[in-house]
Amino acid sequence: MAAKTLVVVESPAKAKTVKKYLGAGYEVLASKGHVKDLPKKLGVDVEHDFTETYEVIDVKAKVLAELKAASKSAQHLLLATDPDREGEAIAWHLSDELARPDLTVRRVEFHEITKKGVELGVAHPRDLDTHLYDAQRARRVLDRIVGYDVSALVWSKLAFGLSAGRVQSVALRLIVDREREVEAFVPEEYWNIGACVLGSNRPPFVARLASADGEKLEVTRGEKAGAVRADLEGATYRVAKVVKREQKRRAPAPYTTSKLQQDATSYLRFTTKRTMQIAQGLYEGIDLGKDGGPVGLITYMRTDSVRVSTDAIDAVRATITELFGASHLPDTPNLYKAKKNAQEAHEAIRPTSMEFPPSVVQKHLKDEQFKLYKLIWERFMASQMAPAVYDQTGVDIEATPRDGGAAHRVYGMRASGRTLKFGGWLEAYGRGVEAPKQLAGEDEVDEPEAGQAAAAAVEVSLEESADATLPELTEGETLALVSPPGVVAEQKFTQPPARYNEGSLVRELEKRGIGRPATYAEIIAKVQARDYVEKLASGAFQPSTLGKFVVDGLVSGQLDFMDPNFTATMEEELDEVERGHVGRVAMLRRFYDRFKQQLDAAKKQKRWAPEPTPTDNKCPECGEPMLKRWSKNGWFLGCTAYPKCKTTQDLGQDGTRTTPLPVKMTDEICHECGKPMVIKAGRYGEFLSCSDYPTCKATRPVPMGIACPKCGGQLIEVRSRKRGGRTFYGCSNYAAAAKCEFKLWQKPVPEPCPSCGAAFLVRGGGKKAPVLACSTEGCGFKKPVVDEPRPDAAAAAG
């Protein structure tokens, strides 16, 4: 019997989970994301209310055909795509393609893929939301217009093929601005000075210099540090004041998208994109071997809300009481204030059921799924637990140098310590183990955690810390200087601001109101997809020269969208469109009219690329001077005799390397004039060039010293000059009369196969577990890479 109701979700995994809960009478299929989008051309009629031209995405034609076929036998269509703007847009496009007069079409939302969540969504269908769809349409049109027109501007001002986007260009500006701060930073010297002292009770502790003669004291020179140290080494010490108080540290709010991405970057080393992919899987369903199907483990993962349902709060409070006792449960549930413009229709990211603690489901999860789920579980547990309580002690000490002192008469020293009195929510992260400070959030501590480090008698650190152990002290008590270490003076230098990594960039975007939960990962992915930034080994972003030129050019064009504040305002306007307070066309027209004026003015600017500059280098081919030039591939030296002489040399990103062009003689013979060929270094690597250049301008790739198994020619490395082009290894006779089309995607190594006798092996297996393998069909030989063979220059030259 044909299904009466067709339910369409976005992913096959989600479809499988939802089908489990709906059972007979429902057919659940997946759209696999968007089915329609704007074409490659502009696709927006600016003059007629910014009307879009949507086309079925080529690879989705088959999916759409299957959905249409299934809808013909259905009486009801439930569009259950993700509960956000993108999901609403997909639902509208599906409705356009599948609707017919006798088919009822409704929209449903699943905020968690559990039996309760699915049944609740199906029980409360709604009409398609015009305002929500208009907000998505407005964002899509804004991105298309800016991307289309500004990319063309960048092409004309820098180099063809470059691109720019509305929000990712602002994110790139943040990265570039931070890099400029790092480059301009001048370290300043300062000194930390402290004394290890002991009272009538142990242990000894460190008091840190704070003031002199009643005024705040900052020591910035070694001479001053020496004088102060001499004073303190001969000083008498007494306790001037002891202040004890109780300090409470409140529990953190449950996760929003940005907070989850930040912590996953900091503690799990996940990229924002990977974090969202893992979270998507946890949301859509994991097969726990229970009741014959998958279970959604977390609520919807794209949210900026900290709201939690009453049922979920009741469940977690019961679990807290069971695991930790009533002492760890607040009298009333903890409530958290949402940030401005948060979408309160969603909940925070939390476990869907307290029946699935991480230890129980671990065996069903991949390692990265377990780590992220554990992070979400512990954060949610902590969010509804009692505050942690500390006993905080602050001690003021007077140090009086003998004979009035050489530098000052009286020094003020400070020491503080903190003892955990009651773990509270910290115990959700492991009994007796302090949770990472960032997990609590920077604004969720009742009082400043000022303090200095404690020290043993022979080890002293003057770094700031709040967890020193102080002995019992009384006001007026005399203290003795403990030597060693006695008085310690540490020279320090101020540090530049840290470059952004994925987590800190998400935090900055959220702080400035740029982007929304559904877009953070996409913004960062697009910034990295271009050659505008480099991700360092530390995970920090460093802009390339190309990235700096793009930002500087766009900023010089005084384009509004490059202003972070303007971009944040645009996000707020999109929110207003979603609420129905602002019309889509009015919002777009207001933006576009000003944008067009600014764009036309920017087009009149001179090129953004730097002008060629003279150097002391001479061209090794013709002897003419060489100029330092720039292209989108970086800095290089180019001969002033161009185009007659096309000699170039890559200078690298910083443009500082100006070593002579290397030239190596080989036994290769020029295929055009018969003279010897030499190896030269160009902008795209080494190549063979005729030694009679410029009379003969013949060139060809350097052979790898491995014969082609198909025709006997030489294998060569073929590097694409196209950005993003893939390197492969082919036969040197491809362009010859033989037209040999032998090709390898893995690098050949001149080591014979011990199994079948093939002349070479290929490198494979990836970076973590590289192997050498035989490429001969049916052989199957493979071995781990120990010392990869490296042919010498002579072999490489043939």
Catalytically annotated residues: 300
Q: Which two tokens stand for residue 102?
A: 């006798």
Q: How far is it, in rounded angstroms, from Cα 341 to Cα 337?
A: 12
Q: How far is it, in rounded angstroms, from Cα 475 to Cα 240?
A: 6
What residues does 7 pair with on adjacent strands?
Answer: 28, 78
Q: How far is CA 335 from CA 42, 247, 282, 340, 447, in A?
A: 46, 20, 25, 16, 19
Q: How far is it, in rounded angstroms, from Cα 503 to Cα 507?
A: 6
Own/partner pairs for 601-606, CB < 8 Å, 24+ apart? 601/557, 601/558, 602/153, 602/557, 602/558, 602/559, 603/153, 603/156, 605/157, 605/553, 605/556, 605/557
Determine the length of the chain: 798
Contact between 526 and 541 under an 8 Å Cβ cutoff? The reply is no
Calculated CA dihedral for residues 268, 270, 275, 278, nearest 10 degrees: -80
Q: At what angle do helices 130-157 and 166-184 cross, to 10 degrees?
A: 50
Q: At what angle do helices 520-529 and 166-184 cross, to 10 degrees?
A: 70
* DSSP 8-state assignment for residue 466: S
Q: Tally DSSP H helices, then E strands, for the chain.
A: 19, 36
Give the E-state strand segments of 49-157 in sequence order. 51-52, 55-56, 76-79, 104-107
> Given the DSSP bridges, would you call strands 104-107 and 26-30 parallel, antiparallel or unpaired?
unpaired
Q: Which two tokens stand for residue 398?
A: 């007077």
Give the E-state strand segments of 496-580 in sequence order. 533-535, 541-543
The three-class DSSP label of residue 286 is strand
Rounded to the nearest 5 degrees, what angle is found at the Cα of 427, between the Cα atoms of 424 and 429?
135
Dihedral pair phi/psi, residue 588, rounded to 5°: -65, -40
Q: Examine residue 791 and say whether the peptide bond preceding it is cis (omega within 30 degrees of 0).
A: no
Q: How far is it, in rounded angstroms, from Cα 251 to Cα 705?
A: 65
